[in-house]
Structure 1
Amino acid sequence: MHTRPRSHPGTAAPVLPEDSLAYALLTTAQLVADVVAGGTLTESLAKLWIARPATPPGVRGAILDLAYGTLRDFGRQDFILDKLLQKPLQEPVQSLLRVALHRLDTRPDTAHTTVDQAVSAAATVLGGNFKGVANGVLRNALRQAVDLNKAADADMVSEFRHPAWWIRRIRTQYPDNWRSILAAGNTHPPMALRINPLRATRDETLESFAEAELPVCVLPNGALLLERPVPVARIPGFVEGCVSVQDAGAQYAALHLDLADGQRVLDACAAPGGKTAHILESADVMLTALDTDPARARRVSENLDRLGLKANVKTADCRDLNRWWNGRPFDRILADVPCSASGVVRRNPDIKWLRRSDDIARFAAQQKEILEALWQVLAPGGKMLYVTCSVFAEENREQIAGFAARHPDCRRLSIADQPDCQYLPCAEHDGFFYSLLEKTP
């Protein structure tokens, strides 16, 4: 991917060959610029693939790697650019420099190629007016690398690659391991799988992975952790519904819910359906799955179809009981509520920069409303598992403590001999919070 741009008849700017690094750098820069403007990476990627459906897999992979990597390192790039520029450049040139700096940091062996291709990309935007600036900034970044990195390591946001408010919150709430939590948020996420016992045994699955030369290890909760992530097309038994991709931390939900055959179960915020499917794989229950968005509800149904599972999937806000509840209480409720997603930020690195400190209080208020509504549909003696993929106490332990204080009929049940369970992000799984509540008769 090292090709000079070619001129295109009838246009002033050159056109970048699709298989060039310059093309990947510029396309990624446009994605990052969308995030800077307040959009999400997921939405921008969806629009990109719709607009460019014929993008070759190799090019698509290069764009994804650059986009996720750049957003994980975002705070550091802006610190360095602030040292090298008098003022920020217009988008997408500013983001093009961010992407190029990320690649210079992660691929120092290809520094010359990165600078050359970034300059070629800059020549195609804004009339090529910033071609010389891009060249100068990147070459200065290389020449001053030692001093710039030393200064960057002394800056909180640059060193930990998270917003200042986020760092302060984590440091206050986790004084003993805040550094490891932040570091985990900047890593590549692990890839874990869940075995569908209705279609395959563990021994059969492990044998098929050995034959495919895909090393895996079995975690304490039964999840399979791949030694390295691979495309789902390479996963034995995926198409047949024998296994599903699901983070190992998320696989605790069905285990902690205390399921039994014949129960009426509600998955209140079900999409994309991983936990829904795990519940149905674990016990023969009558399950209702809700989601507010029709497209996301369809995805739940599609995932269940692949696995040969059945549920009553509805599109509704779980708080609007009149819209979906028939008056029959549930024995078990999974309340996997909307949250800051601070425990899965390495999978969605744009979240770090799109979230604001006061968002946490808004999520907490929404979670409170959901808990209050769902408690009404839980049968006496029934159990509700409250789940977030957050590491912030306001959404987790503080939320549950407040709910229990308001409800004398709420009994907090232990999980693994603890009042609740906060799984922190690590090499094996993402960050999740679990609290099991029983409604006393």
Structure 2
Amino acid sequence: MAQCTVRSSHCPTICASCSADPQPAAAPASLRVSVTASRSRAPRAHTAHRPPPPPPPSDSLAYALQQAAVLVDAVLAGGNLNEHWEALLGANPEWSDATRGAVRDLSWGTLRDYGRGDAVLKRLLDKPLAAPYHALLLVAVQRMETRPDQVHTVVDQAVQAVGATAPGLRGVVNAVLRNVVRRADEVDAWRRQDEEALHRHPRWWVERLRKAWPAQWEAAVAAGNSHPPMCLRVNRRRSTPAAVVAEFAAAGIAARVVGEDGVLLDRPLAVARVPGFAEGVVSVQDAGAQHAARWLGAQAGDRVLDACAAPGGKAAHVLELADVELTALELDPRRARRIDENFTRLGVTGRVVIDDARQPARWWDGRPFQRILADVPCSASGVARRNPDIKWLRRAPDLARFAALQAEIIDALWQTLARGGTMLYVTCSVFDEENRAQIAAFCRRHDDAERLLIEGRPEQQLLPTADHDGFYYALLRKRP
């Protein structure tokens, strides 16, 4: 979808006001499916003479399409994908592993392939369907593109899925999806001509990357569309990366060492199947995020603050590397519980405080910290492949709001830093407003701040690659 500051989050199409670029001609009206005509047969209350069709079996593709559409529709309405996914799992505890996997794969895949479905549906429908059924079409079209060997099965199962709740729309869904099959060459052309469909990112997002990283933006976008890698962090108090790789190899799990503490799996595994996870030998943490503890450089005896600490991966890594007095600060009580859980599993000890980083008078005891890890809230644009709803929910104006919040947090944290102490600023963003520009503005506000080099550079911007997600790091020292 293109950026639009006035449209509803349910808006399923790119309208003329959402794009400055001329759009390719839509399909002739005679070849498009009429939603208006179908409304005489649209969903209506069933009578005793016509009982509603039974729901699809829970082990069917129709059921998986239907449930994935529930998640996609929730995101298009502005909801958080992970929260709705957990709610859906809670409401369906009887689901098999196969059903859970199918629903997750379909919903995450549809959201990751931002713009691909809309580039097609806006040309094949004279008017958009109601949001839940538009979401079902998005899921079905994505499945047809990624599994071309199943296109006829997908059509049949999508018709069954919609028939369970809206029998009057079976003809519309059938006609749209059969057009996708029959007009495959046109469908490919529509996607190539639509910049958002081509790059699978919002147009404003691509424009910012192209401007900031003219030589790297295409690779970053491509990596952001891929399935995320699964990286583990080895608890140095309990093992080493080389030993873990050897143990995995003996168990038939292919992996390699990355960085100083990481092990990158060739293929992702369910966490429950990762050897050593329950025992605290390893944690799941992206290789790019593992730089934080190393670049913070905490030494034994330091007072360390990890602000905005949940779920506690970076704080735990600091404690694995050095005997420090660590405070993990988190605003959300539910997320703060995960910090304690991770500390317990890993056998490390830190103090967890639930409060607002912007209000040190409420939680700071007046004793300065030698090290502060400022892992601030951000657009999460560097981890969108893990959380594909981000591409659908973020808008360009959001960056200014994030930047303002970040500035409040780091200004407040700076008060608690000891003279000669260091603060590591971290985001999982790829946008300059939250990164380079943010730190430049901070240094203008604080004449006692100086930049320190990180591996020979004044800052480290990691764009997404096959091995890691996108992160930004800057190290600041408070002059003595």
State the AA in 2 paired with 1:62. Answer: A
How big is the shift at 1:323? Answer: 1.4
How big is the shift at 1:398? Answer: 0.5
How big is the shift at 1:11? Answer: 5.2
TM-score computed with the length of structure 1 as normaliser: 0.96
Query: In structure 1, which of residues 65, 73, 79 is the aligned counterpart of residue 113 of structure 2?
Result: 73
Partners of 1:203 and 1:357 lie apart in 2 by 43
How big is the shift at 1:203? Answer: 3.6
CA shift digits 1:50-82 (9 cap, x unpaired): 111121111001111101100011301001001
- Which residue is equivalent to 1:420? 459
Partners of 1:227 and 1:206 lie apart in 2 by 11
Partners of 1:407 and 1:431 lie apart in 2 by 27
Partners of 1:209 and 1:238 lie apart in 2 by 12
- Which residue is equivalent to 1:6? none
Tell me, yes or no, if the aligned pair for 2:459 and 2:475 is still in contact at 8 Å: yes
Q: Report the secondary structure of 2:108's partner residue.
A: helix
| 1:211-250 matched pairs, under 5 angstroms | 211-250=250-289
- Which residue is equivalent to 1:399? 438
Partners of 1:64 and 1:221 lie apart in 2 by 32
RMSD: 1.3
- Which residue is equivalent to 2:165? 125
Query: In structure 2, which of residues 318, 324, 327 is the aligned counterpart of residue 288 of structure 1?
Result: 327
Q: Report the secondary structure of 1:317's partner residue.
A: coil
Partners of 2:65 and 2:245 lie apart in 1 by 39
How big is the shift at 1:383? Answer: 0.4
CA shift digits 1:310-349 (9 cap, x unpaired): 1100110111112111000000000000000000000011
State the AA in 2 paired with 1:335. Answer: A
Q: Report the secondary structure of 1:343's partner residue.
A: helix
Tell me, yes or no, if the aligned pair for 1:74 and 1:98 is still in contact at 8 Å: no
- Which residue is equivalent to 1:270? 309
Tell me, yes or no, if the aligned pair for 2:192 and 2:198 is still in contact at 8 Å: yes
State the AA in 2 paired with 1:272. Answer: P
State the AA in 1 paired with 2:139. Answer: V
Partners of 1:46 and 1:333 lie apart in 2 by 32
- Which residue is equivalent to 2:104? 64
- Which residue is equivalent to 1:195? 234
Tell me, yes or no, if the aligned pair for 2:429 and 2:470 is still in contact at 8 Å: yes
Partners of 1:11 and 1:323 lie apart in 2 by 61
User: CA 1:426 to 1:41, structure 2 compared with 1: closer, same or farther past 3 Å?
Assistant: same
Query: In structure 2, which of residues 139, 151, 160 is the aligned counterpart of residue 99 of structure 1?
Result: 139
Partners of 1:125 and 1:354 lie apart in 2 by 27
- Which residue is equivalent to 1:302? 341
- Which residue is equivalent to 2:395? 356
CA shift digits 1:171-193 (9 cap, x unpaired): 11111121111111111000000
Tell me, yes or no, if the aligned pair for 1:423 and 1:430 is still in contact at 8 Å: yes
| 1:135-146 matched pairs, under 5 angstroms | 135-146=174-185
Q: Report the secondary structure of 2:469's partner residue.
A: coil
Tell me, yes or no, if the aligned pair for 1:185 and 1:345 is still in contact at 8 Å: yes
Q: Would you say 1:170 and 2:234 are equivalent positions?
A: no
- Which residue is equivalent to 2:61? 21
Q: Would you say 1:313 and 2:352 are equivalent positions?
A: yes
- Where has structure 1 moved over 2 Å in runs of 4 or more? 201-204
Name structure 2 gaps, 5 residues minimum: 1-47
Q: Report the secondary structure of 2:115's partner residue.
A: helix
Q: Report the secondary structure of 1:130's partner residue.
A: helix
- Which residue is equivalent to 2:72? 32
Partners of 2:286 and 2:454 lie apart in 1 by 19
State the AA in 1 paired with 2:369. Answer: F
User: CA 1:416 to 1:11, structure 2 compared with 1: closer, same or farther past 3 Å?
Assistant: farther
- Which residue is equivalent to 2:373? 334
Partners of 1:220 and 1:338 lie apart in 2 by 25
- Which residue is equivalent to 1:3? none
State the AA in 1 paired with 2:159. Answer: V
CA shift digits 1:335-386 (9 cap, x unpaired): 0000000000000111011011100000000000011000000000000000
How big is the shift at 1:298? Answer: 0.5
- Which residue is equivalent to 2:155? 115
Tell me, yes or no, if the aligned pair for 2:236 and 2:261 is still in contact at 8 Å: no
Q: Report the secondary structure of 2:226's partner residue.
A: coil
Partners of 2:93 and 2:298 lie apart in 1 by 43
Tell me, yes or no, if the aligned pair for 2:114 and 2:391 is still in contact at 8 Å: no
Taking only the aligned residue pairs, the percentage that are identical comes to: 56
Q: Report the secondary structure of 2:131's partner residue.
A: coil
CA shift digits 1:153-181 (9 cap, x unpaired): 11111111111111111111111121111
CA shift digits 1:5-54 (9 cap, x unpaired): xxxx9951321100000000000011101111111111111110111112
Partners of 1:14 and 1:123 lie apart in 2 by 9
Partners of 1:51 and 1:222 lie apart in 2 by 38
Name structure 1 gaps, 5 residues minimum: 1-8
Partners of 1:30 and 1:219 lie apart in 2 by 38
Query: In structure 1, which of residues 408, 412, 418 is the aligned counterpart of residue 447 of structure 2?
Result: 408
TM-score computed with the length of structure 2 as normaliser: 0.89
